[in-house]
Structure 1
Amino acid sequence: MKLDAIDRRILAALQADGRLTNNDLAERVGLSPSPCLRRVRALEAAGTIKGYAAILDPVQLGLGTSVFVRVWLRGQDDDTVRRFNDSILALPQVMECHMMAGDCDFLLRVVASDLDAYRRFQAEKLARIDGVQSLKTDIPLQRVKLTGSLPL
């Protein structure tokens, strides 16, 4: 789907506030409500808009610790990677999982209530995944930037 300037304004407005009513969105982007709604539905149908979600405060939910985990597997064959991926998908504490080129095989972002809870999660879950050779945890000292908004 080729995006024009109005589509990009719609996307920027929805990134900033996904709860905008269609009328408010139409006003912000300079359209009448019907064409605005048609464009939003087209963006959803094309998969450009994947969904809508609330942004939650992890601290208020008791998940104020976030760590990055580098994972090395025993092998990179399809079965080992698939088993690892399937295991990670079942762990809600893993917020992000990226297969990497370079030193490690995967990079994870994991949330926990505190470092003790993370240590237990690492020992009881991550280290027990079939095919995991080693894990290295990096603990951030300060979050400088976190955004879910793409540059449009």
Structure 2
Amino acid sequence: MAHNLKLDKIDRKILEILQSNAKITNAQLSKEIGLSPAPTLERVKKLETLNVIDSYHAKLNTAKIGLGISTFVMIKLTGHDKGSIQTFIEAVNQINEIIECHHVTGTSDFILRVIAKDIASYQQLMLNKVNEITVVDSLQSLVILSTFKDSKSLPIPEESDVVKV
């Protein structure tokens, strides 16, 4: 059963801080938001329990671990029926180099974010895996040359305090 959750200023501040530094200690977090440690921890646990906070992740430096090529790939499917879409999604979930998959509107059906070691690896991935998905009609690759913003922090709405959970 869905119910309304009010996010007050302190909850929003907690979410902003945790997005920029998930390794912050509860003691430091409590200092930054102006509460004592016990109620701070209680608020974080509540946000986790209500799935406002889904998970915590380490952001890796792609260059340092040998992943030098990042692309977006726009995919058109041969059909738009439920079976074709399911076939495509199941295949995509088996390819580790595809790190994002979005069903989109417009001239493409899906947009993928793909990461690979180098151009040769990327080319092999496209030829041997993505092009082999039976329901793929066409694809267009967009190689990312430079990234000027890569924020994982979501803006927390201030006007609308009500979140359906």
> TM exceeds 0.5?
yes
| Matched residue, 2:45 | 41
Partner of 1:83: 87
Greater RCO, 1 or 2 (C-alpha within 8 Å, sep 6+): 2
Task: Kindly indicate whether the alpha-carbon contact (under 8 Å) linking 2:69 and 2:144 is maintained by their aligned counterparts in 1.
Answer: no
Partner of 1:101: 105
Q: Which residue of 1 aligns with 2:14?
A: 10
1:1-152 equivalences in 2 (<5 Å): 1-152=5-156
Q: CA deviation at 1:91?
A: 1.3
Task: Decide whether the 8 Å contact of 2:79 with 2:135 is kept in 1.
Answer: yes
Q: Secondary structure at the match of 1:60?
A: coil
In structure 1, stretches of 5+ residues that fail to align are none
Partner SS for 1:125: helix
* Equivalent position amino acid for 1:3 in 2: L
- Residues in 1 aligned to 2:7 and 2:97: alpha-carbon distance in whole angstroms: 35
Alignment partners' CA distance in 1, 2:95 and 2:52: 27
Once the two structures are superposed, residues 36-83 of structure 1 have per-residue CA deviations (whole angstroms, 9 ceiling, x without a partner) of 111101100111101111110011111011011010100010111011
Q: Is the 8 A contact 2:14 2:44 kept in 1?
A: yes
SS at structure 2 position matched to 1:141:
coil
Separation in structure 2 between the aligned mates of residue 46 and residue 83 of structure 1, nearest angstrom: 32
Please provide the CA RMSD for this pair. 0.9
Unaligned 5+ segments in structure 2 are 157-165
More helix by share: 1
- Matched positions, count: 152
The residue type equivalent to 2:40 in the other structure is C
Runs of 4+ in 1 over 2 A off after TM superposition: none
